A and B are shown apart, each in its own frame.
Chain A
């Protein structure tokens, strides 16, 4: 894990290497969330809340992977910008696909 004195713009040092233990902790947390999601799908009867809750769990998993395993927390501004750009394009994809699906009931050509 990084030390408290480390700043994002500082060059990486040997102390920036993640400890194996911390990586495994993140791994098991991600696994645990996956199991929770599966159990929730099978046994949780949340009704309309089911989709947002499960997507929320998936988002937490993705953030953990990005933050720890992809080292986003140490990435410089260009790396952060790249990641945000990717999310932005996924957002565009979702919005425009939903724009089609949610208005199909009106008419198609």
Chain B
């Protein structure tokens, strides 16, 4: 392999003319509430999910805010101990089952998988709509349970306490059980679509890495979710019917619950993070103007994570009473799952190397992801190691590690995806300044929130305790102060993104000069995405020779000197170089 640095961009093909903006697109083809509630358009269903999970994100965020406020004082600042239990459970249940799991697969998977493989819709459009309804019904039960009376078991719902608790465990468990079916429906739909509906020329080796990530995610959803559904059903049978399955008082085995629960719930972590990894691969290449480094390695590492992720669940149970030999085995297996994750990180770094990097909001979020996910991953190795986990188990170290991966990783990848694809979804550009400011504020706030928790955990503060010794207060105050910065950072997109719908200038079809098929559709797309059958002629990231997947040249995004551009004030602030190097 040789690397040639070119001073001038080499244009392999002329860029296509800006497509005529169609009078009708998926947003204005029909009006009225019913047109949304009965739609089978994958893009509209993606928007339905976006609106729904944004609301749940606010609910879960408020619960998190109350938990952090309460921890300002060693004796609890605003909540009783019982209220505190219900509040952190509400935060966990809502954020995990109603936001993180459906976030990228249901919003961006629904919206962009067909467009990125050149299809008109998902394979089963009606099933897709049904999945949203099932999700909302389950979410209704779960939100009712956590907001009206609450659940005090923690989001893991461990028996025997969950079998005996007098709080709203039954509707909560039932809600989570129902939302699982929605996850299965989405996974099935996406997997079949990728298998059966790729356009001509879109071979497996030309699939965007986001599609590979979604494929791996669907694999986990299809194989793992039924297990947790059965587990929760058994829990309900014990709780409602008194059948002794998990409660030792009536002949059950509580560790069996943990085995069954984590057999799904650890891979569920990869349901959350693997799609984010796919997003990162898309954005890093675009904003560094580089071909992806190690396409096959990244693609297969997604599949590797999906498979190996099923072999590591009992690392959550080292001190739960499992056999010593079993704990040793799972410690070793857990180390293995770090390998494909590390492969991805190294390949992303190599992609950035000598790239022509521009720091727009999607890229800022993505770079933040890289830093925070790496910290989260490395601290995960502390917990995977049997010896250190004995000390760190169920402390704030685990909380910090988990949030570094889930919030620093997944939520930032979600925000990156939202900012990257927002112009395509809505046809509008958002404020460049405020979006960069938001990404920066979130990054800073995140560190202040969760780094003190590593220290707290290492010094032995247990998770889920409302009270703590005086010497821990400084770290808790720091963490709460960071959470307020973080909350402010999240608030900003909640303002400038909706405002852009009304005041944002119109986006061209390909504002980031990206190579994927989805950018060949107008912004916003028409109902069936493409007016022609796309024929793919090359891989998904041909930034080196400057062509999209149809073999056409890439447009130059507008720059600050382009005074005639109507979207200059809010578009990218500087010209993105079409090419800086040729790898061949």
Contact = CB atoms under 8 A, between A and B. Distances in A.
21 contacts: A85-B223, A89-B310, A93-B227, A96-B314, A96-B329, A99-B323, A100-B259, A100-B314, A100-B326, A101-B323, A103-B323, A103-B325, A103-B326, A104-B321, A104-B323, A104-B326, A106-B323, A109-B318, A109-B324, A109-B327, A109-B390
Contacts of B195: 78
B381 interface: no
Interface of B: 195, 222-223, 227, 255-256, 259, 263, 310-311, 314, 318-319, 321-327, 329-330, 386, 390
Contacts, number: 54
B227 A100 contact: no
Contacts of B318: 109
Nearest to B313: A96
Nearest to B259: A97
Contacts of A86: 222-223
A17 to B, nearest CB: 20
Contacts of A104: 321-323, 326
Nearest to B393: A109
B319 A96 contact: no
Contacts of B324: 103, 106-109
B311 A108 contact: no
Contact of A107 (B259, B311, B319, B323): B323
Contacts of B263: 93
Given A86-B223, A92-B310, A97-B259, A106 B319 contact: no
A100 B227 CA distance: 18
A94 to B, nearest CB: 10
Interface string A73-90: 000001000100110010
Contacts of A106: 323-325
Nearest to A82: B222
Interface residues of A, number: 18
Given A100-B323, A103-B323, A108-B324, A92 B329 contact: no
A96 B331 CA distance: 13
B123 to A, nearest CB: 13
Nearest to B390: A109
Interface of A: 78, 82, 85-86, 89, 92-93, 96-97, 99-101, 103-104, 106-109
Given A92-B310, A96-B311, A108 B323 contact: yes
Nearest to A100: B326
A92 B311 contact: yes
A86 B225 CA distance: 12
B316 to A, nearest CB: 13
A86 B227 CA distance: 11
A78 B215 CA distance: 14
A86 B191 CA distance: 15
Contacts of B386: 109
Contacts of B326: 96, 99-100, 103-104
Contacts of A107: 323-324
B55 to A, nearest CB: 34
A99 B350 CA distance: 41
B380 to A, nearest CB: 19
B187 to A, nearest CB: 12
B322 A108 contact: yes
A98 to B, nearest CB: 10
A92 B314 CA distance: 13
A92 B308 CA distance: 11
Contacts of A96: 311, 314, 326, 329-330
Closest 7 CB pairs of A and B: A100-B326, A103-B323, A104-B323, A107-B324, A100-B322, A103-B325, A97-B259
A109 B259 contact: no
B325 A99 contact: yes
A100 B322 CA distance: 6
A109 B389 CA distance: 11
Q: Which of B255, B322, B330 has the most CB of A within 10 A?
A: B322
B387 to A, nearest CB: 10
Contacts of B227: 93
Given A93-B263, A99-B329, A109 B319 contact: yes
Contacts of B311: 92, 96
A5 to B, nearest CB: 26
Q: Which of A86, A92, A99, A108 has the most CB of B within 10 A?
A: A108
Contacts of B255: 100
Contacts of B321: 104, 108
A89 B259 CA distance: 14
